[in-house]
Amino acid sequence: MDRKDERIEGLVRQLLVELGEDPEREGIVRSPKRIASSLKFLTSGYAVDVGALINGAIFTQETTSMVILRDIEFYSLCEHHLLPFFGRCHIGYLPSGSVFGVSKLARLVDVFARRLQLQERLTEQISHAVMDSIQPVGVGVMIEAQHLCMMMRGVEKQSAVMTTSSLLGSFRDNVATRQEFLNLVNRPRP
């Protein structure tokens, strides 16, 4: 355990006291340690170099068919409340010479999701990372998510799903391409 973990543990212990808890109480005496390690995992995306992650995952492939990976589950923390938001991410792109290793596409979502986030920014970071790394003709990313900061507190709306999309290149400029992406993302689950 490094010094940083110890500092986070100390801060969590202090937070428990401020909230009216007894940090020595049997049930929570180990909670600062658990919370520190949980937070470390949930924000582990900061320590990942996106370029290095992507580098080994690009393959030369002459195809012009749209590639879609949908229903990528993710869990993130909203930067305003540090409460979870979670849902599904759909990624589509039209290759021009290179394609992404499919598991790396899912990993890319995790890298950005495991940081303090806004859903809008998460969506754009994913689309730009795909665009910058394989320069496809176009990219579309759509995220559908539920926000605990809205469900547990605030407006207390339980079933609102927020949808964000980021469309680049032909996904933005070409109506038929955009429509193909939306149709593929929205078609019934197998």
Task: Indicate the SS3 state at residue 94.
Answer: strand
Query: Residues 16, 35, 67, 78: which binds Zn ion (CB under 5 A)?
Result: 78
Give the separation between CA 35 and CA 21, rounded to whole angstroms.
Answer: 15
Q: Which is nearer to Zn ion, 36 or 78 (CB)?
A: 78
Q: Which is nearer to Zn ion, 47 or 82 (CB)?
A: 82
Q: Which helix (H) or strand (E) holds 36?
A: helix 31-42
CB 92 within 8 A of CB 65: no
Question: Under rule CB under 5 A, which residues in 3-62 are in contact with Zn ion?
Answer: none
Least gap, CB of 97 to Zn ion (angstroms): 40
Q: Which is nearer to Zn ion, 162 or 182 (CB)?
A: 162
Q: Does 148 bind Zn ion (CB under 5 A)?
A: no
Token readout for 27 is: 């049930």
How far, CA to CA in Å, does 152 sit from each of 83, 146, 149, 161? 9, 11, 6, 14
Query: Residues 4, 30, 80, 157: which binds Zn ion (CB under 5 A)?
Result: 80
Contacts with Zn ion by CB under 5 A: the residue count is 4
Which region, judged by CB under 5 A, interacts with Zn ion, from 6-14, 122-130, 149-157, 181-189?
149-157
Give the separation between CA 181 and CA 87, rounded to whole angstroms.
Answer: 19
Q: Which is nearer to Zn ion, 7 or 80 (CB)?
A: 80
Helix axis angle, 31-42 to 3-18, nearest 10°: 120
Which region, judged by CB under 5 A, interacts with Zn ion, from 8-16, 86-94, 121-129, 142-150?
142-150
Query: Residues 33, 40, 70, 81: which binds Zn ion (CB under 5 A)?
Result: 81
- Strand-strand pairing, 67-78 and 116-117: parallel
Q: Which is nearer to Zn ion, 65 or 159 (CB)?
A: 159
Intra-chain end-to-end CA distance of the chain, in Å:
45
Least gap, CB of 10 to Zn ion (angstroms): 25
Give the separation between CA 95 and CA 46, rounded to whole angstroms.
Answer: 28
Residues that bind Zn ion (CB under 5 A): 78, 80-81, 149
